[in-house]
């Protein structure tokens, strides 16, 4: 397996797609007791919740998860073991932690990144009337999955 530095240098980040998908699936299975399905089993809805975590060090970039507010509430409810309508201010905390765990799980699976890459605290944006401009836009890896019938998009923008 190529190290993070070698893959980053060659720009072949698409090879990381299966690792990103496994990282995502594990977080949902272990922390939400929910099995993610293929994206064609999801309904398109407004992607009005975004959670982001920055990566710095041997791999520089941004990992983000986008979904509808309804899906984010469902994630929080499953994490906390409560009904979706009971989810209140903890919504952003829960959605941010999911992104944080996916980013951490992903970097721990890439050879050389465990020690060589640090994560930022998560940032959560609600609403979809925004554009994201990152210096890490040179190469974007995207994984689309279905969570309880809702579409979720996980993106890794890497600074080459």
| Binding-site ranges for other proteins (CB under 8 A) | 26-27, 30-31, 76, 79-81, 90, 93-94, 96-97, 100-101, 103-105, 108, 114-115, 118-119, 121
CB of 46 or CB of 57, closer to other proteins: 57
The residue assigned the tokens 């998009």 is 153
The residue assigned the tokens 């020690």 is 115
Nearest to 4 by CA among 118, 101, 97: 118
CB of 94 to other proteins, least distance (A): 4
CB of 21 or CB of 139, closer to other proteins: 21
CB of 114 or CB of 127, closer to other proteins: 114
Helix, strand, or coil (residue 50): strand
Contact predicate 58/8, CB 8 Å? yes
Gap between the Cα atoms of 113 and 108, Å rounded: 6
CB of 38 to other proteins, least distance (A): 21
Query: Please, what is the angle between helix 69-80 and helix 17-32, to 10°?
Result: 50
CB of 104 to other proteins, least distance (A): 3
CB of 14 or CB of 33, closer to other proteins: 33
CB of 104 or CB of 155, closer to other proteins: 104
CB of 131 to other proteins, least distance (A): 28
CB of 97 to other proteins, least distance (A): 5
Query: Please, what is the angle between helix 90-109 and helix 17-32, to 10°?
Result: 130
- What number of residues does the chain have? 160
Beta strands in 41-102 (DSSP E): 49-57, 61-67
């Amino acid at each position: 397996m190529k190290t993070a530095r070698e893959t980053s240098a060659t720009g072949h980040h698409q090879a990381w797609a299966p690792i990103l998908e496994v990282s995502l699936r594990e977080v949902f299975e272990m922390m939400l007791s929910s099995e993610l399905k293929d994206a064609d089993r999801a309904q398109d809805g407004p992607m009005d919740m975004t959670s982001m975590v920055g990566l710095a060090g041997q791999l520089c970039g941004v990992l983000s998860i986008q979904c509808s507010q309804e899906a984010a509430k469902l994630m929080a409810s499953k994490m906390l073991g409560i009904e979706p309508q009971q989810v209140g201010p903890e919504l952003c905390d829960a959605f941010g932690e999911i992104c944080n765990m996916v980013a951490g799980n992903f970097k721990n699976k890439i050879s050389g990144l465990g020690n060589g890459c640090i994560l930022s605290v998560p940032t959560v944006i609600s609403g979809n009337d925004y554009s994201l401009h990152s210096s890490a836009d040179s190469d974007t890896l995207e994984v689309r999955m279905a969570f309880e019938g809702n579409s979720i998009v996980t993106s890794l923008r890497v600074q080459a």
